Structure formats: structure tokens, C-alpha cells
Amino acid sequence: MEEEQLFIWDDNFSVGDDKMDAHHKQFIDIINKYEKAYLEGNADDISLQIIEELLHYAILHFKEEELLMKSIDYPGLDSHVKHHRYLTHQLIEYRSKIKKHSPIVHLELLHFIKEWWDEHIMEIDMRYFDYLDI
């Protein structure tokens, strides 16, 4: 029996670039893994692994997305890069909280990664869609 996913990819999430969409699908997988662990009461067991996975994902994804935006002369590149730096800084802060066993960090982290999806990917990333030659 296939495991139920809490967050499912939809073609409306596409930014118009196959590589970026693949990255975003990977992000959904991370969200689902963490939310499942949280709901099952296993967040303590997986939170450090998740934050490291998110940091690895962010570094790779942000680098490749910034190269894509530069290649299409996207005019919002500078502000987009600043937002990437902010998100990376937040991840580093959450990693520190997790290592200190902060009692409310799991719910905060879950909220943060869902907000990252809603505000950054679904709004900010969608802004470069019109500049892609598709």
C-alpha cells in the first residue's frame, strides 16, 4: 500500500523549468517526511537530519536557480538572491535551535518550511516564469 503524502505536487506549482521543478518536488518530499515524523511524534529523531537535508537542498537549489535567473537576465535577481540568503540564515538558526533541543522548534520549523513554500516558491519564484523562453 502506498504511503499517503501530506503535500502533493501539482502542475500549477511549475515555474516553467524542468530542473527547478525537480528541485521543488524534492522540497515537497522533505516537507512530507518532516510533517509525517512530526505527526507521528518522531520529530526529535529526524529533525537534525531534516535540517541538514534542507541546508544541502537550499545551497544546491539556490546556486542553480540564481544561475538560471542570471542567464535569462531576470531583473529581480538581486532581491531574489537576498531572499535566498535570508532563508539560508534561517535554516542555520533552526539547526542551532535543534542542536540545543529547543522544545518548540519542531512546530516552528514546520511552519517555516511551509511558509517557505507558500511565500518563496509559490510567489517569489513564480515571478521569473515570464522571463523563461518556454
All cell numbers assigned to 98: 535543534
- Residues 28-63 have pLDDT tens digits of 999 899 889 888 988 888 888 999 999 999 999 999
**Percent over 90 (pLDDT), the chain:** 46
User: In the block, which residue shows the cell 522548534?
Assistant: 105
Contact 63, 36 (CB under 8 A): no
Give the global pTM: 0.86
What residues does each domain of the chain span? Answer: 18-131
Low-confidence ranges of the chain (pLDDT < 70): 1-5, 134
CATH topology of domain 18-131: Four Helix Bundle (Hemerythrin (Met), subunit A) (1.20.120)
pLDDT mean across residues, the chain: 89
HEC string of 16-63 equals CCHHHHHHHHHHHHHHHHHHHHHHCCCHHHHHHHHHHHHHHHHHHHHH
Tell me what pLDDT residue 4 has: 62
